[in-house]
Structure 1
Amino acid sequence: MPTWRENKGASNTSGHVLNTVIGSNSVALQWAGRRARELGFRPLVLAPGVCGDVRSVSRLYGLLASFACSREEPPPEVAAELLRLGPEVGVESWDLCRTMQVLGEGRTEGWGSTCLLAGGEPTVELTGTGRGGRNQELALRVGLELRDMKLPPNGPVFLSGGTDGQDGPTEAAGAITDGGLYEEAHAQGLDINSFLTNNDSYTFFTRLSAGKRLLVPGLTCTNVMDVHMLLIPPIPMNMR
């Protein structure tokens, strides 16, 4: 058994070891932001530690979309609910205040399209036996939150995907959704609430329009949690 002195000596050699983090959720968001800028979007990172129940997280993104896409100054109740939800889903109040300030400036000053980025790993309460994962369920729930908003390119688009390329026991990494999801599903005879109750988001997105909303990049051989992306179109300024 090593003596105390031997242990102490061994610890002194730690100065010759260099540990470098070459991948993290923050790095993924940083590079996603760079790519978004190349594509003509203004990147805005909300937070890398989103967590908590997927229903609360979807509500947060729905409120952010409503806040960002409003032509008028959003009612104070929206900001109040955002600040209430933030700590519940791992987003600091100052991050939300900063984000709302930037989104508000974009609305009043007529900036172009914005790409709001966040990351983390929300949780799903299992109530059924369907196939899916947290990213597909989050996208499905956000789609319900966006139901009354305009369709792209005049309305927001939301994406949630796992950086490992796989979401739950499925071949998809996540899904893409927007304000037209509910009507699209209704027209095809798909009851969104039934799929949510059975935690069957993968089956839903597979059946919906032949799976066109599924995100299927293949396995990436890495894993730095999930990336959430909310694309916000330019908001025309009201002329008074």
Structure 2
Amino acid sequence: MTIASPRDFLLSLYQTAVAAVSASQCLPAFLPPPPSGRTIVIGAGKAAAAMAQTVERHWQGELSGLVVTRYGHGARCEKIEVIEAAHPVPDAAGQEAAKRILAMTQGLDREDLVLCLISGGGSSLLALPAEGITLEQKQAINKALLKSGAAISEMNCVRKHLSAIKGGRLGLACAPARVVTLLISDVPGDDPRIIASGPTLPDDTSCAEALAILRKYQIGIPPNILAHLESGAGETPKPEDPRFARHSHHIIATAQHALDAAAYYAGTQGVAAHILSDGIEGEARDIGLMHAALARQVAEKGQPFHKPCVILSGGETTVTVRGTGRGGRNAEFLLSLAHTLNGHSGIYALACDTDGIDGSEDNAGAYYEPASAQLAATHQLSARLMLENNDGYGYFSALDQLIVSGPTRTNVNDFRAILIL
């Protein structure tokens, strides 16, 4: 087995993984039969426009609707309107889209069908604060949570209890119509109630839990939001609510699907692939340290795998922001790995977000190779110092090792591949 270009091989793994979880590949098989009444398509997330486009291409019958996606992630649709809004911090465009989507659910009857298309990013894009809470307050709390290192499940618990549309409220608004929710999962564990804060699914978290999360991360709580949570005014509809009886949901694409596709491709190239997990969470720099230790063990001692091989993993890491640098969690992971390996021979790595955007930057992630350490030295760059400043983007940009794919219009979160030769 000979790999002429480790970088091209790792890029092919990433591209294969992303293609496997695209809406065009995954969605058609889950479309329900047309109803006797109307079909309304609504949705939110980074994949929402591509999902809507796929629905239009395969739907037998009339339909109309509205979906909201991130700026730059749109796709051309003829019958379903696509609105673009801000992510990861919500804006007025997302708030207006949420109002219009909620309005579309009014006046439906039992013969109608609501097809809801949900993917990661929907929490920010479907922004409709609960009564008495302002968009500016939600923006401030969202920013603080993003910097705090909170897990996605914790962030979305808070979001649900400050919202007028998430945490199942959109689903109840569709009554008495039948609701079918199709989801592309970006959360470890693939819990559909966490994806985009579960706008059409019942919720089993509480106001008390949301309040505890804000206090855990020492996030300032305005008096009106404190009262909203302490009084229970923000409580979400629960699983036993009979109004969800005619609802169904299907997770159509996950991180595991992406990893399986990449592993299969590696096998066709004669490289053994080992999937660690599809749901790794924790600080990105700590996960990088762990992956580096595992790669060294394989390279030096043939344990627990024999080289040549590729180690794959997915999930959603977090970054507790302490510095002033640029970069998302994948660049942070790879910078930590680069610092730990320090040019160790025979180890190459790629870490990218499957949506094509690492955090809020213009890159999907980055690439690392043994020569990176020497190249960094020639640029007088310190991986340790730049890691302390959360500046993975700056490090890999200087080395010309950023991976820029542009929006992929899908999202199953982190994709990591470490090639050991």
CA distance in 2, matches of 1:134, 1:55: 8
1:20 counterpart SS class: strand
Number of the residue aligned with 1:176: 367
* Alignment RMSD: 2.2
Matched, 1:226 2:421: no
Residue 192 of structure 1 aligns with an amino acid whose one-letter code is: A
Q: 1:146 aligns with which of 332, 341, 361?
A: 341
Which residue does the alignment assign to 2:261? 31
* CA distance in structure 2 between the aligned counterparts of 1:139 and 1:29, rounded to whole angstroms: 18
Shift of 1:175: 0.7
Would the aligned equivalents of 2:343 and 2:373 in 1 still touch at CA under 8 Å?
no
Deviation of 1:214 after TM superposition, in Å, equals 1.0
User: 2: CA distance between counterparts of 1:57 and 1:141?
Assistant: 8
TM-score, L = length of structure 2:
0.41
More strand by share: 2
- Larger proportion of helix: 1
> Which amino acid counterpart does residue 162 of structure 1 have in structure 2?
D
Three-state SS of the structure 1 residue aligned to 2:252 is: coil
Paired residue for 2:291?
A: 61
Query: Rg: which structure is higher?
Result: 2
TM-score (norm 1): 0.69
Alpha-carbon distance between aligned partners in 2 of 1:40 and 1:73, rounded to the nearest angstrom: 18
Q: How many residues align?
A: 182
Partner amino acid, structure 2, of 1:38: T
Matches within 5 A, 1:201-216: 201-208=392-399, 211=400, 213-216=401-404
SS at match of 1:50: strand
What percentage of residue pairs aligned between the two structures are identical? 32
One-letter code of the match for 2:296?
S
Which string of whole-angstrom CA distances, capped at 9 and with x for unpartnered residues, describes residues 53-72 of structure 1?
122211111111111111x4
4+ runs of 1 displaced by more than 3 Å?
Answer: 7-10
Residue 38 to residue 185, structure 1, CA distance change in 2 (3 Å): same
- Name the residue aligned to 2:389: 198
Deviation at 1:203, TM superposition (A): 1.8
8 Å CA contact 1:144–1:181 kept in 2: the answer is no
Q: Distance in 2 between matches of 1:67 and 1:138?
A: 18
What's the CA shift for 1:125?
1.8
The within-5 A match list for 1:1-240 is 11=245, 13=246, 17=248, 19-70=249-300, 72=301, 100=304, 103=305, 106=306, 113-147=308-342, 149-150=344-345, 155-208=346-399, 211=400, 213-233=401-421
Partners of 1:135 and 1:168 in 2: CA distance: 8
User: 174-183 vs 41-50, which deviates more?
Assistant: 174-183
8 Å Cα contact 1:29-1:118 kept in structure 2: yes
Q: 1:167 and 1:28 mapped to 2: Cα distance?
A: 17
State whether residues 144 and 179 of structure 1, in contact with CA within 8 Å, keep that contact through their aligned partners in structure 2. Answer: no
Aligned 8 A contact 2:338 2:383 in 1: no
Structure 2 unaligned residues grouped into runs of 5+:
1-174, 176-240
1:10 Cα shift?
Answer: 7.2
CA contact (8 A) 1:146 1:178 kept: no
Q: Distance in 1 between matches of 2:321 and 2:351?
A: 19
1:189–1:9 Cα change, 3 Å: closer
